[in-house]
Amino acid sequence: MNVAPLGVAAAALPCPLPAQRCPVSSGQLITACRLAWEQGGQLVALWVSDDRDRERGFCLRVLLRDADGLTLLEHTLPDEGARYADLATIFPAANRMQRAAFDLSGVQCDADDQRPWLWQAAWPIDRFPLRRDFEASPKWEPGQEDYPFVRVAGDGVHEIPVGPVHAGIIEPGHFRFQVVGEKVLRLEERLGYVHKGIEKRFEAMPLLDGGRLAGRVSGDSTVAYAWAYAQALEAMAGTTVPPRAAWLRALCLERERVANHLGDLGYLGNDGGFAFGLAQFSRLKEDVLRLNREAFGHRMLMDVVVPGGVARDIASGEAAAMRAQCASLRREIRVLRDIYDEHAGLQDRFRTCGHVARELAMQLGLTGFAVRACGIAEDLRADFPLPPHDALAVRKATRTEGDVAARVAVRFDEALESLRLIDGMLAALPEGEVLAPLPSIPAFRLGLGMVESWRGPVTIALESGPGDSIRRCHPSDPSWRNWPVLEHAVIGNIVPDFPLINKSFNLSYSGHDL
Amino acid sequence: MLYVLRQIAKTGIVSERAPAPADEMRVVARLQEEILRIVGRALAIRQVDAGSCNGCELEIHALGNPYYNIEGLGIRFVASPRHADMLLVTGPVSKHMAIALRRTFEATPDPKLVVAVGDCGCTGGIFGESYASLGRVANVIPVDVEIPGCPPAPTALLQGILAALRAGQI
């Protein structure tokens, strides 16, 4: 983003992607966001750090992304009474981020919507966990809040509350439907049920251990998170990982993408009434997980990516097995894709269902494969390629229809493209070490990491404290931007299509609730 | 339809049998015996995510794939705790889920077996106890069996379910 019109000085920010940081005053904050929007930028994340111990009040950070890279706006609020402008007027996705920032740090913005977001009465409403002087009391009992859902009135309108414990094996969250007959007039999400204090937990960890926790922010994206964390730490340290390690990381990332896409393609078939699809795709996914275990020692590849490189190298036999698997998976996926495409009943459920228009996707900041299904081709692996993705020239998968069928098609394309990438990586895997030592990191450095997970870009903002400790770590999941879009995607659809629409996005609760 | 049938025929039955005692399928064979002997009918499980990172859920899902074929063994996951013999709970139990978990437990009829899944369900794991987390499942509801692992592999999950059946002697 070009910040020159603001008259502020931008400085480089440690991050493997092009990134800059700019201090902004309260007036400049809103101007900068508007400027970013006009330049085609999107909001990635928003969080607050308590810097009162350094006589700096609170620091509000707003991370933006556009075609040039990342821009971090840093706005200092002198004390807890200071407010900042409501950024949701420009980026609607800011609404929940601002509410969450208040719940955790007690810094308020000027918005009309002051409802809590992550807070659900587990701790007193006037205590803020991410303040440095926060002390939890064992006396605090889980309480119940009375959340003001928006109601639709009118003849025949009724309400369906769902969750937090859902009927299937999925994460907890609450959905409040306002329906007339079968038709959904409005859906309101209430999340925060799996808030388990991840950001506070980071602050009790040494920098080198934080990757393990980052890999458990959202288990289905463990490789992406662990890699983003490692990127942030390595950028602060000025360390470049050995080429073989970079390639193995990318290999894991693509295997994670394949596994998740396969699993979800199966469930999408199942939710469309085609159990055959689930049986077939879950079999293929299991094959991927089993080979992961053989090659990397973990079915879901947890703790394989570590700061400095990867924890485990692969042998030539394992590489050959993975290449053979690419070939067989490609064959099987193509057969299944034809079956899905030609299955009239399934296509009837998929097409036009859960439609998101391109304009809406832009306005709300939809991201990841879901936005690529609305005709917006953004993918970090192609837009800001790092080794080895730069050498392999990632082909972005896009569709324009914006419905469940489009999201299914993008996931088919991406699974196949990942197989091509995996094969390409294994064909040209550099030799050498897989782990580099990391130097000690001075206190009060800030680093960013961002990786395109199967769901979309995951971000880690990491701040060092004295003695190689973590001062602050803010993980941001693409789900923050996609959950609000789901509310729109179901409007006008029938209630029984909700599971299908929901699955077509498959958003993370844990990655969002933190 | 022809392609579907051809694919089914080509795939064949991949559900694993028990060639040797140490094989992971061996556990499954024992499990089926155990269920028939102890329960004499299907075992109904209600899964509750009480705060996990969703890693455990992925492995619980895997139990349904054709390799483990859990439904073929007479075990199925049900939508309501009122239909369940067993709760399969992942943790750590977030404070925000504590009430929902207790209510789910209360709604479950006897024998109300509870299996805590994963390192977080067993000990609180990497998240531990905090302002937002109550830690292990046993801190909130009585637990019969704990299955460690981050996340536990499907075979370990089956072993844990078996252990709970023995403990419950239903």
**Neighbouring C-beta atoms of residue A227, cutoff 10 Å:** 32
Per-residue pLDDT at B105: 96
B128–chain A Cβ distance below 8 A for any pair: yes
DSSP count for chain B of H helices, then E strands: 6, 5
Q: What is the pLDDT of residues A8-53, one digit of tens each?
A: 889 999 999 999 999 999 889 999 999 999 999 999 999 999 999 9
Q: Do the bridges between strand A11-12 and strand A309-310 make them parallel or antiparallel, or are there none, so unpaired?
A: unpaired
More confident residue, B158 or B26: B158
Please list the residues that pair with A194 across neighbouring strands.
none
Structure tokens at A469: 């400790």
A176 and A164 Cβ atoms separated by less than 8 Å: no
Q: Does any CB of chain A come closer than 8 Å to the CB of residue B79?
A: yes
Q: How confident is the model at residue B72 (pLDDT cuts 50, 70, 90)?
A: confident
3-state secondary structure (DSSP) of residue A405: helix
On the CB side of A234, how many CA atoms lie within 13 Å of its CA?
26
- Tell me which amino acid residue A9 is: A
pLDDT of residue A231: 97
pLDDT above 60 for B21: no
Query: What does the pLDDT look like over B36-50, one tens digit per residue?
Result: 566 556 789 999 999
End-to-end CA distance of chain B: 43
Query: Tell me, what's the pLDDT at A2?
Result: 86
CA angle, corner A292, sides to A504 and B58, nearest 5? 40
B7:A280 CB<8 A: yes
Find residue A45's DSSP bridge partners.
Answer: A63
Asked if B164 and B35 touch (Cβ cutoff 8 Å), the reply is no
Give the torsion sign (CA, B24, B64, B33, B138).
Answer: positive
Do residues A418 and A260 make contact, with C-beta atoms less than 8 angstroms apart?
A: no
Please list every residue in chain A whose beta carbon sits closer than 8 Å to the beta carbon of residue B97.
Answer: 164, 172, 193-194
Contact A299 B92 (CB under 8 A): no
Q: Does B97 touch chain A (CB under 8 A)?
A: yes
What is the band of B31 on the pLDDT scale with cuts at 50, 70, 90?
low
Residue A384 DSSP code = S
Helix residue ranges per DSSP H, chain B:
2-11, 24-34, 55-62, 95-107, 118-123, 154-168
CB atoms B55 and A302 under 8 Å = yes
Question: Strand pairing of B43-49 and B86-90?
Answer: parallel
With the C-alpha atoms ordered A96, A100, A103, A105, is the resulting torsion angle positive or negative? negative
Task: Select from A150, A155, A151, A158 the least CA-distant residue to A179.
Answer: A158
Using pLDDT thresholds of 50, 70 and 90, give the confidence band for residue B26: very low
Put simply, the chain A residues between 235 and 274 with a CB less than 8 A from any chain B CB are 263
The number of angstroms, rounded, from the C-alpha of A445 to the middle of its chain's C-alpha atoms is: 23
- Beta-carbon separation of B130 and A219 below 8 A: no
Distance separating alpha carbons of residues A290 and A333, to the nearest angstrom? 18
Among residues B69, B70, B108, which one has the least CA distance to residue B89? B108
**Residues of B in Cβ contact (< 8 Å) with A509:** 54
**Residues of chain A where predicted confidence (pLDDT) is lower than 70:** none
Between chains, do B54 and A168 touch, taking CB under 8 Å as contact?
Answer: no
Chain B interface, best mutation among A137, A169, A261, by max B CB count within 10 A: A169
Among A209, A224, A185, which Cα is nearest to A508's? A224
Count CB pairs under 8 A between chains A and B. 160
- Tell me what pLDDT residue B163 has: 77
Q: Where are the alpha helices (DSSP H) in A297-351?
A: 316-342, 344-350
Looking at the complex, report in whole angstroms how far the Cα of residue B50 sits from the nearest Cα belonging to chain A: 7
Sheet holding A42-50, edge to edge: A11-12, A19-23, A69-77, A58-66, A42-50
Confidence (pLDDT) at B89? 96
Cα nearest neighbour of A284 on chain B:
B65
Is A291's Cβ below 8 Å from some Cβ in B?
no
pTM for the full predicted model: 0.94
**Cα gap A457→A478, rounded to integer Å:** 6
**Residue partners of A310: CB distance under 8 A and separation at least 6:** A245, A248, A249, A252, A304, A434, A435
**Residue B16: closest CA among B166, B168, B155, B159:** B155
Look at strands B75-77 and B43-49 and give their pairing.
parallel
Report the C-alpha gap between A331 and A322 in whole angstroms. 14
Share of chain A residues as helix, strand and coil, in percent rounded to the nearest 5: 40, 15, 40
State which residue of chain A sits closest to B96, comparing Cα positions: A193
Nearest C-alpha neighbor of B133 from the set A140, A99, A96: A140
Test A142 with B95 for CB contact under 8 angstroms: yes
Which chain B residue has the Cα nearest residue A260? B58
The predicted structure's pLDDT at residue B23: 36
Query: Which tokens belong to A36?
Result: 């970013």
- Categorize the per-residue pLDDT at B25 as very low, low, confident or very high, splitting at 50, 70 and 90: very low
Looking at residue B170, what is its pLDDT? Answer: 46
Integer Cα distance of A360 and A35 in angstroms: 19
pLDDT band of B124, cuts 50, 70, 90:
very high
**Rounded distance, CA A314 to CA A466, Å?**
36
CB-based contact A171 B94, cutoff 8 Å: no
Can you tell me the distance from the alpha carbon of B8 to that of A169, in angstroms, rounded to the nearest whole number? 26
Give the per-residue SS3 of A82-126. CCECCHHHCCCCHHHHHHHHHHHHCCCECCCCCCCCCCCCCCCCC
Nearest CB among A167, A193, A286 relative to B65 is that of A286
Confidence of residue B121 (pLDDT cuts 50, 70, 90): very high
Which residues from chain A sit within 8 angstroms of residue B8, using beta carbons?
Answer: 276
B133 to chain A, closest Cα gap in Å: 5
For residue B58, pLDDT beyond 70: yes
Phi-psi region of B118 (alpha: psi -120 to 50; beta: other; left: phi over 0): left
Using a pLDDT cut of 70, give the percent of chain B over it. 82
List pLDDT tens digits, range A370-391.
999 999 999 999 999 999 999 9
CB-based contact B54 A129, cutoff 8 Å:
no
ipTM above 0.85, yes or no: yes
Pair of tokens at residue A438: 């990391």
Residue A161: strand pairing partners:
A176
